[in-house]
Amino acid sequence: MPPSAGLFELHPSSGIPIYRQLIDQVRALIAGGRLVPGDMLPSVREVARAAEVNPMTVSKAYSRLEIEGVVERVRGQGMRILEPNTGGPLRERRQEFRDLAAPAIHRALQLGLTDQQIHKAVDQLLEEQAARHSND
């Protein structure tokens, strides 16, 4: 069976933009193995109807996922999941992480945290979030 629109839980009034909720959930579903390469995403209109939002909003989210290399657009058919972690090779994934982490590291130095303290904090975060992943 194709993935249904019920995959997503969207809360338009949560303060978090709808398109961002959608992107995060697709990525999480892929990371969690509930969406595998080759699967089609539920159609824009289907999701839009289920969540009572505008199709364009869903489309924008899907477009961003395409730009990120998470899904592929199949004209007239829909969006197909690509290989997870294949938006680019290791080099690109590392770069994305570096860009995301740089401000935090910068701030940590300003705060006078030592390298050791920073690594320890990172370790703790890794443990917590790894746990959260297996609970999915």
Query: Is 55 or 84 the residue whose CB approaches a second copy more closely?
Result: 84
- Minimum Å distance from CB 102 to DNA? 19
79, burial (CB in 10 Å: exposed 0-12, middle 13-18, buried 19+): buried
Is 3 an interacting residue with respect to DNA (CB under 7 A)?
no
Kindly state the smallest distance separating residue 68's Cβ from a second copy, in Å: 11
Q: What angle do CA 64, 58, 86 make, to 5 degrees?
A: 35
Q: CA torsion, points 45, 66, 73, 13, in degrees to nearest 10?
A: 0
Which does residue 89 bind out of a second copy, DNA, none, counting CB within 5 to 8 angstroms by kind?
none
Nearer to DNA by Cβ, of 20 and 94: the residue is 20
55 binds DNA (CB under 7 A): yes
Interface residue with DNA, options 3, 7, 27, 43 (CB under 7 A): 43
Alpha-carbon gap, residue 87 to 81, rounded angstroms: 11
Using alpha carbons, select from 70, 75, 72 the residue that is nearest to residue 87.
Answer: 70
* Smallest separation, CB 10 to DNA (Å): 9
| Cβ nearer to a second copy, comparing 55 with 87 | 87
C-alpha to C-alpha distance for 117 and 131, rounded to whole angstroms: 21
Q: 69-128: which residues touch DNA (CB under 7 A)? A: 73, 75-79
